[in-house]
Amino acid sequence: MSLVINNNLMAMNAARNLSDAYGNLSTSTRRLSSGLRVGTAADDAAGLAIRELMRSEINSINQGVRNANDAISMIQTADGALQVIDEKLIRMKELAMQASTGTYNSDQRLIIDSEYQAMSSEITRIANATDFNGIYLLNGNLSGLESQHDGSGLSATGPLKVHFGTSNDSAEDYYYIKINGASASALGLGHSAADKTTNPNAGKTVSTQELAQQAMDAINDAIISKDKIRAGLGSLQNRLENTITNLQIQAENLQAAESRISDVDVANEMTQFVRNQILTQSAVAMLAQANSLPQMAMQLIGG
């Protein structure tokens, strides 16, 4: 190589190596300080795309877990109200049993019936007042077929749709919670009860001995109807709890996969950092030496 003044090729080579080593050192510093192997698209374009998709899945699944937990809280609210209704039905059967015996006169049965009707009104009040986050649970709004669900408006109608999956597949991502009405009229009790085919007055009142005896059968039917609602809610709660367990496992596995793509291997990156640090220091020293080499030409000129 000729000794020249205008173009210091050794300095240019040392400067290029310094730039490369310093850039690699900067990348290692960024990765170690952030903990991410893939911090920008330039690090791993395909890995970045896969990571972002996984992150969206993980966040959606975690929200699905929260949705399912909210649904469990709602079911527990409805079940708690039905438990109180159960107590009222038991008291109503006790009153019907009391009024059905012949040792009471008409005035006393009317007094018994006044409490019977008060229990009926309280059941209706509980059914109409029980809500979760503004959604009324026992007034019959959530009854009906799954096909009757309509979520196109600001307020959905029909059975309540619990969405916990990351897509919109009915077999995998959501199902419906159907709760029949539990008011006194829906259960066939009290003055507001609908007429029955076989005995239109059964369950409406205990003001006479005959009606009190008929009310006992109507109350039994009401208790069975209420228990069917509670059994359905219990099975839904168990299903939601199993769903939550499955979603948590799924999110955990996706998080592990995302970590393998995105997170930096600290031990390996620290090795690269030390290597790049040494190369940077060496390049700086060699650039300083290369910049001084053209001065040797002065010795020839001076000689």
CATH topology (fold) of 9-35+264-302: Helix Hairpins (1.10.287)
Helix ranges restricted to H, the chain: 9-34, 45-99, 106-129, 184-187, 209-262, 266-292, 296-302
Residue 296 has pLDDT above 90, yes or no: no
Residue 292: pLDDT band (50, 70, 90) is: confident
Per-domain boundaries in the chain = 9-35+264-302, 65-262
For residue 2, the model assigns a pLDDT of: 67
Residue 253: pLDDT band (50, 70, 90) is: very high
Q: What is the pLDDT of residues 157-206, one digit of tens each?
A: 899 999 998 888 877 889 899 999 999 999 999 988 888 777 888 889 99
Q: What is the pLDDT of residues 177-191, one digit of tens each?
A: 999 999 999 999 998
Helix, strand, or coil (residue 38):
coil
9-35+264-302 and 65-262 have identical folds? no
Residue 244: pLDDT band (50, 70, 90) is: very high
Could you say which architecture CATH assigns to the domain 65-262? Up-down Bundle (1.20)
- Helix (H) and strand (E) counts for the chain? 7, 4
For residue 269, the model assigns a pLDDT of: 87
Alpha-carbon gap, residue 236 to 222, rounded angstroms: 21
Q: What is the pLDDT of residues 102-156, one digit of tens each?
A: 999 999 999 999 999 999 999 999 999 999 999 999 999 999 888 888 988 888 8
Which of 145-149, 251-255, 299-303 tops mean pLDDT? 251-255
